[in-house]
Structure 1
C-alpha cells in the first residue's frame, strides 16, 4: 500500500515539477532576451534584487542603462508592481505635468509617519500646500539667507576649521564623514530652532566625555538612529514586513520606537520653551520661530510644529554632509580640480579692499562669484546625489511619455544615482567627474555656471516639490569647500574605495578616513 501511494505521489508531482522547470527555464531565457530585466514567475525581480542588495544602486543603474528608454517595470512577489525610471521626459511628466496624479502616497507616508508625522516631507494635498506656502515665503526672505550665512560662518570658523587644524597638527587620521555629519547637525539645529547640540567642540577645545553625554548628544544620536531605521523599512524584500515587527515590538522596530521617543521629547521641549520666549517678546530668526510667528503658524499644535521642524532637520542634516563627503573623496584624486578651486578662491579674495584681505570666510556676494566651486560641487552631486532614490504613487492608471503603462496604485521611483550615469542623458563621459560640463562652453576657463534642466539633474527634485533649501545648501557647501581648500589638504589613501550604504541619504559604510595637511 505504501509503495503504491509513493508511486501515485510521484506521478502527481512529476508534471508539477516539469511545469516548474519549464517556468524557470523560460524565465532565464526571458531574462537574457530582455537584457536582464524580465521578472521570474511568482517571485518577480526578487532573485536579482537579493543577489545585488549589497550594490543595489549600481545594479539598478546597469539594468536601466540596458533598457531602450531607461525605464523598468519592476515586479515584487505577490503581484505588486511599479516603475523605476531615469528618463527625463518621464520625470517631467510625473513631477510636473501630471503632478496631481503622483502624490507621495500611503506606502511612503506610512513608512515614515512614526518619525516625520505630517511634516512637509511626508504629506500630500492641503497639508503639503499649506506648509509649502509658509516655508516658501520664509526661504525667500533675505533675512533668513543672512541668518543662515552667519550661522554657517560661526560653525565653520568656530568649530570645523579649528578641529581640522588640530588634526593637521597631530597627524592623526580623521573620519571626515562623521565630522561633517556632526557639523551639519549643529548647523541645521541652529537654523531650524536656534539650538546648539554641540556635536563639534568649540574653538581649540577637545571633545570631552561630558559633552558626549548631554541631552543634546542623546538627541543627535537618537535622530541619526531614527532616520536610518526608518529608511530600513523600505529595504525589506517583502514589503510591509516591518509592520509585523512593529506590532510585536521586535528588533529594529523596538529600537526605532525608543529613538523616536527621544527625538520627539527633545523637540517638544524646545517648542514649549520657544512659545514662552516669544510670549516674553524675545526675537528669534530661526525657522521654528518664523513659522510660529507667521499667520499660518498661529493655529498649529505642538505636534504639528514638531513635525515641521523634524522634516527640516532631516532635510538639512545628512544631505549636505553626504554631498561634501563624496565631493572631498573625488577631489582627493583630482589635483587639477583642486588647483582651479584654489585659484578661483584666491582671485575672489584678491578683489577685496586691502584692509579686508585677511577677513576669514566669504560673504554671500563672494560665494556667488565662485562659479567653478559651484560647478565642482554640482558635478559631484550628479554622480553621488545625497538622496539617490525617491518615489511617488500613481493615483490613477497612466501612460508615461516613453509608452510605459502605469497601473493605479503602482509606485514610480525616480533614480537620481542612475540618472547621473546615463549616457543617453549626459553623453559618453557620463561616469567621468568633469566640472567643466557645467560651465559656459564659450569660455570654459573663465566661464559662468550654466544650470541644467531639473528633470535631467534631479538632485534637488523638480516641479512643485523642488527643494526649498537649495540656496541654503549651496551657501553651506561653498563656504566649507572654499575655506577648507584654501587652507588645508584632505588626503585620502589612494587605495580606498568607499562602500555605499543606503539610508535616507547616500553614505559611506566605513566613513571617509583622511589625513589633514596644512598648506604651505
Structure 2
C-alpha cells in the first residue's frame, strides 16, 4: 500500500523536506534546567514538537517534570499532524487503562507498527486473541522447576565460569570495564540459554561482539530510535528506499530472524533424532508439545530475548550505581549475603529480602521501561474526568510515578530500601510490595509481566555473586547524575565505566 501511494507522496514530501529537516535536526544545547516547567505550547501542524525537540536527550525527565505540575498528574501532549496523546502518572488512571477498562486500551498502533519489523506479532506487539494465546503458551515456562534450573544451572554457570573470572582479571590488569555492556552480555547469554538451549558466548574476556548479538543490539536500538522521530513517515520513507539506518535495521533483523530460524530447525532435528532428549529449554518444550509454525516460535523466542536481556541489565546498571552512592545500603546487602552459604542455592536466593527491597527501590527510581502506551479503541472518560477520544494514545510514565511525593513521601528522592520492609512479628524483615498501579514497573492487570519472579531471582543471584566478592567503583565523573535515556528499554548514556576491587573480608 505504501509503495502504491509513493508517487502521490513524493511531491508533498519535497515541499515539506525543509520542515522535516528543521524538526529532526538535533539540538546540541539540550536543556538541563528543570526550573519554570510549564505544559508545552502547541502549534498548527507541528503540535508541541518544538518544545519536545528543545529538551534533546532529557525527554524522559522533561515529561516527568511536567507530570509533577499537571492537574491530576495528567496532561495532553499534542504531536505533529494532530496526533492525540495523553501523558499520565496518576495511579487511578493507570488502573483504569490496565485493568478496569483493559479491553478498551490496547497496544497502540504507533507502537505495534514501529516495532513490527523486529517483533512481528510476538507477545509484546500484539493484542486480542493472538496475545491471549501467546501468553497462555508462555505462562508454562515460569514454573518453580524452570526457575530453579535457571538460577542454579544457567545463572550460576555464567557467574562462575565467565563473569567472576573477567572481574578478577580486570583487578590484575587495572582495566576499566563498561559495566553496562558487561551486564548486557551476561543477561544475553542467560536468556539465550534458557530460551534456545543455545550459548552465544557473548560474555568473554575479549568482549568481542558475536554477529547474532551485535545484530540484535542494532535491531533494538534502531527500532527504538524510530519513536524519536517527529513523523513515522520519515523512517517509512527511509525504509522504502532502503537507506541509512533503515538499511542497517533491515540487515540486522534479517540476520536475527535467520539465525533464530536456523536454531529452531536444528532443535527440531535434534528432538527427532533423540527421542529421549531432555527438553530443558523453552524452545525444546515448545517444539515437543505442539506443532507451532516456525514464524510463531521465532516471534516468541525473539520477544523473550528482548525482555530477558535488556530489562534486567538496565535495572542492574542503575542498581550498582546507586550502591556506590549509598554505602550504607551496600553494607546491609553484604551482611545479608554473608548470612547465606557460599553455594547460595535457589531457596537461599528467595530469602534475600533486603536485596529484593533494594532492587525494587532501584527500579522505582530507574525503571527498565520508563514509559508505556495504550490506545483507546472507543471514546472514554478517565477517572479524573478527562475525555478520551477514540484513537487517542495514553502513555503512563513509570519514571515520573517513582518520583511523585504524593505516592512516596517527602523522602522520595532518597534510595531507601527500608520503605519496602516491615517486621514480620518474629524479629525478621518481610518484603511488602506496593500495588502494581502505583508501581507499574512490571505493568499491571492482565498484561502484568510473566517473568517478574525470574527477573528478581536472576538479579538477586547476580548481586550476591558480585557484591560478596567485589566492590564496583564507577569512574569519578559519574558522581554527577548520569543521563537516563531509553530506546526500547532504559540505558545509562555513555555507558557505565567502572573499576573493580577485590572485597576485603
Structure 1 and Structure 2 fold alike (TM over 0.5): yes
Contact 2:215/2:255 (8 A) holds in 1: yes
Matches within 5 A, 1:51-450: 51-139=54-142, 141-149=143-151, 150-201=153-204, 206-207=205-206, 212=208, 217-280=210-273, 281=275, 282-294=277-289, 297-298=290-291, 300-349=292-341, 359-360=342-343, 362-440=344-422, 446-450=428-432
Contact 2:60/2:485 (8 A) holds in 1: no
The offset of 1:291, in angstroms, is: 1.8
Q: Give CA-to-partner distance per residue, 1:304-333, whole Å, 9 cap, x none.
A: 110110000001111111100100011111
The offset of 1:49, in angstroms, is: 0.4
Name the SS of the counterpart of 1:390 in structure 2.
strand
Q: Is 1:515 the equivalent of 2:503?
A: no
Unpaired stretches in structure 1, ≥5 consecutive residues: 1-31, 350-358
More deviation in 438-447 or 49-58?
Answer: 438-447
Matched residue, 1:484 = 466
Q: Hey, what's the Cα distance between the residues in 1 that align with 2:127 and 2:411?
A: 38
Q: Is 1:501 the equivalent of 2:500?
A: no
More deviation in 172-181 or 445-454?
Answer: 445-454
Contact 2:40/2:51 (8 A) holds in 1: no
Name the SS of the counterpart of 1:305 in structure 2.
helix
Q: Hey, what's the Cα distance between the residues in 2 that align with 1:105 and 1:48?
A: 23
Contact 1:394/1:406 (8 A) holds in 2: yes
Contact 2:261/2:294 (8 A) holds in 1: yes
Q: Hey, what's the Cα distance between the residues in 2 that align with 1:511 and 1:417?
A: 20
Contact 1:436/1:444 (8 A) holds in 2: no
Q: RMSD over aligned Cα, in angstroms?
A: 1.9
Name the SS of the counterpart of 2:500 in structure 1.
strand
Q: What TM-score, normalized by structure 2, do the two folds share?
A: 0.89
Q: Hey, what's the Cα distance between the residues in 2 that align with 1:277 and 1:145?
A: 24
Name the SS of the counterpart of 2:472 in structure 1.
strand
Q: Hey, what's the Cα distance between the residues in 2 that align with 1:148 and 1:444?
A: 31
Name the SS of the counterpart of 1:510 in structure 2.
coil
C-alpha distance 77-105 of structure 1, shift in aligned 2 (>3 A): closer
The offset of 1:436, in angstroms, is: 0.8
Q: Hey, what's the Cα distance between the residues in 2 that align with 1:493 and 1:509?
A: 14
The offset of 1:441, in angstroms, is: 6.3
Matched residue, 1:25 = none
Contact 1:348/1:369 (8 A) holds in 2: no
Name the SS of the counterpart of 2:471 in structure 1.
strand
Q: Give CA-to-partner distance per residue, 1:364-412, whole Å, 9 cap, x none.
A: 2101211110011110011000111111111001111111211100111
Contact 2:187/2:312 (8 A) holds in 1: yes
Q: Hey, what's the Cα distance between the residues in 2 that align with 1:399 and 1:33?
A: 30
Q: Hey, what's the Cα distance between the residues in 2 that align with 1:322 and 1:33?
A: 31
Q: Give CA-to-partner distance per residue, 1:76-125, whole Å, 9 cap, x none.
A: 12111111111100000100010000111322111111111111111111
More deviation in 384-393 or 434-443?
Answer: 434-443
Q: Hey, what's the Cα distance between the residues in 2 that align with 1:135 and 1:502?
A: 26
Q: Hey, what's the Cα distance between the residues in 2 that align with 1:328 and 1:445?
A: 29
The offset of 1:241, in angstroms, is: 2.1
Contact 1:135/1:291 (8 A) holds in 2: no
